[in-house]
Amino acid sequence: MIHKAKAKKRKGFRQTPFRLPLWGVAVLITGYISVFLFGLVGNCSVLLVIKRLHRMKTATNYFISNLALADLLVLVFCLLPNLVSNIYIAWILGWFLCKTLPYIQGVTVCASVYSLVAISIERYVTIRLPFRYQITKEKAKKIIIAIWTWSFIVALPWVPYFDTYNADSEHPEMLFCVEKWPDSRKTWSNYYFLFGNFIMYYLLPLGIILICYLTVGFHAYSCTVILSDCNTKMKEIAHQKAKTAVTKTLLVIVFTFALSWLPLYIVTLRLKFGPETKSDLENDVISIIYPIAQWLGYLNSGVNPIVYSFINRKFRMGFYSICKCPGNQRQPLPTSQNRHPSDRRRINVIVLRETFVGNVNVREASMLYDSE
């Protein structure tokens, strides 16, 4: 969120308005703008493919498109303003943005995080409970509305407690955007961060994502592969490849989210619950680490399109069909009807759950993984 620096006099403010030396400012701008452009292109591509190709309008892709929209808003309302606040010592964006940006940032980050949660739950339900429950497109839309409603509610405490503050009477133009809780409620700021941010934005979502994908991963390793016209050795190879692909994808998803946001929460926990008085060395270290930790968090919004979309073959084919459409002639996505038999590379990992009804062995099957 917005960098909440200590409002105090800065020696040499008239000479330099920057928090970092010029080379540090250049590195910061390069890093932040690179993530912004990368995420802008990736998330816009996701939205474009899902919007223009009818067959991509599935329940899963509705969640992915909501994630792309939330990540776009994170890049616009979080990355860019925080780049400015990490460059300049004073707050230069005015009173109105000081009051509104923290709330908007909280809403967009929450929507992005819980879109990841929704995707993990949807995949868990699709794989583990295919015959008991289905998340249809209509249900997906309702869940998305619930995600945004929850995001608007959970970030509400940020609305009244941010304001501009002048710390130096000699420089009235030097304003800071800080949290200003009433004296009787100053400790509430720390506990709100702990429960309203660290737990609700990080630990709880991470726990749900981890449980869902661990279950899916174990499910992949306990399933049976069925491939027609293949010998036993081919089946074993295909099975191992499918399990490896599932495991790698799930590990990337979990670790990308966990490692992207962890440094920022560690630094903020230190600022919230550590000693008020810090040495000059610690202040200097935090002033360097904090922008990097924020950058890592925003990097998550930049790489989500790759993790959730571009690794999917059907999505890549949809993107290529849009980019290569001369005279608006779009090439259709490959299907089982128009694809040559030798090009069918689908690997279906089938879960066989055996139950016994009288003397009859009943097998219930569901598709676990599709390499396309």
* pLDDT confidence tier of residue 311, bands split at 50, 70 and 90: confident
Span 124-146, average pLDDT: 88
Chain centroid, CA 73 distance in Å: 12
Whether 12 shows a pLDDT value over 50: the answer reads no
The structure tokens listed for 84 are: 């400015």
Whether 372 shows a pLDDT value over 50: the answer reads no
Q: What pLDDT score does 347 carry? A: 36
Closest CA to 118 of 148, 140, 151: 140
Whether 275 shows a pLDDT value over 90: the answer reads no
Distance CA 303, CA 213 (A): 19
Span 84-95, average pLDDT: 90
Q: What pLDDT score does 29 carry? A: 96
- How many Cα atoms occupy the beta-carbon half-sphere of 263 within 13 Å? 18
* pLDDT confidence tier of residue 14, bands split at 50, 70 and 90: very low
Whether 163 shows a pLDDT value over 90: the answer reads no
For helices 80-87 and 22-52, the axis angle rounded to 10 degrees is 180
Region for 16 from its dihedrals, namely left if φ exceeds 0, alpha if ψ lies in -120 to 50, beta otherwise:
beta
Span 112-122, average pLDDT: 93
Span 281-289, average pLDDT: 83
Span 90-114, average pLDDT: 93
Give strand ranges (E) for the chain. Answer: 162-166, 175-179, 224-225, 348-357, 360-370
Asked which of 16-20, 131-135, 180-184 is least confident by mean pLDDT, the reply is 180-184
Q: For residue 10, what are the contacts with CB-CB under 8 A and spacing of at least 6?
A: 89, 174
Whether 118 shows a pLDDT value over 50: the answer reads yes
Span 368-372, average pLDDT: 38
Domain ranges of the chain: 22-326+348-370
Whether 329 shows a pLDDT value over 70: the answer reads no
Q: What pLDDT score does 129 carry? A: 80
The structure tokens listed for 150 are: 């929850």
Higher pLDDT, 90 or 147: 147
Whether 244 shows a pLDDT value over 70: the answer reads no
Higher pLDDT, 71 or 320: 71
Span 275-304, average pLDDT: 86
Q: What pLDDT score does 40 carry? A: 96
Span 99-111, average pLDDT: 94
pLDDT in tens, 171-217: 767 888 888 877 666 677 788 888 888 999 999 999 999 999 888 87
Q: What pLDDT score does 336 carry? A: 45
Amino acid at 38: F
Q: What pLDDT score does 186 carry? A: 65
Chain centroid, CA 66 distance in Å: 11
Higher pLDDT, 187 or 264: 264
The CATH number, out of the four listed (1.10.150.80, 3.30.70.260, 2.60.120.10, 1.20.1070.10), of the domain defined by the range 22-326+348-370:
1.20.1070.10
The answer to whether the beta carbons of residues 149 and 108 sit under 8 Å apart is no
* pLDDT confidence tier of residue 354, bands split at 50, 70 and 90: very low
Q: What pLDDT score does 141 carry? A: 95
Asked which of 37-41, 156-160, 252-256, 310-314 is least confident by mean pLDDT, the reply is 310-314
Higher pLDDT, 23 or 319: 23
Higher pLDDT, 38 or 346: 38
Span 151-179, average pLDDT: 83
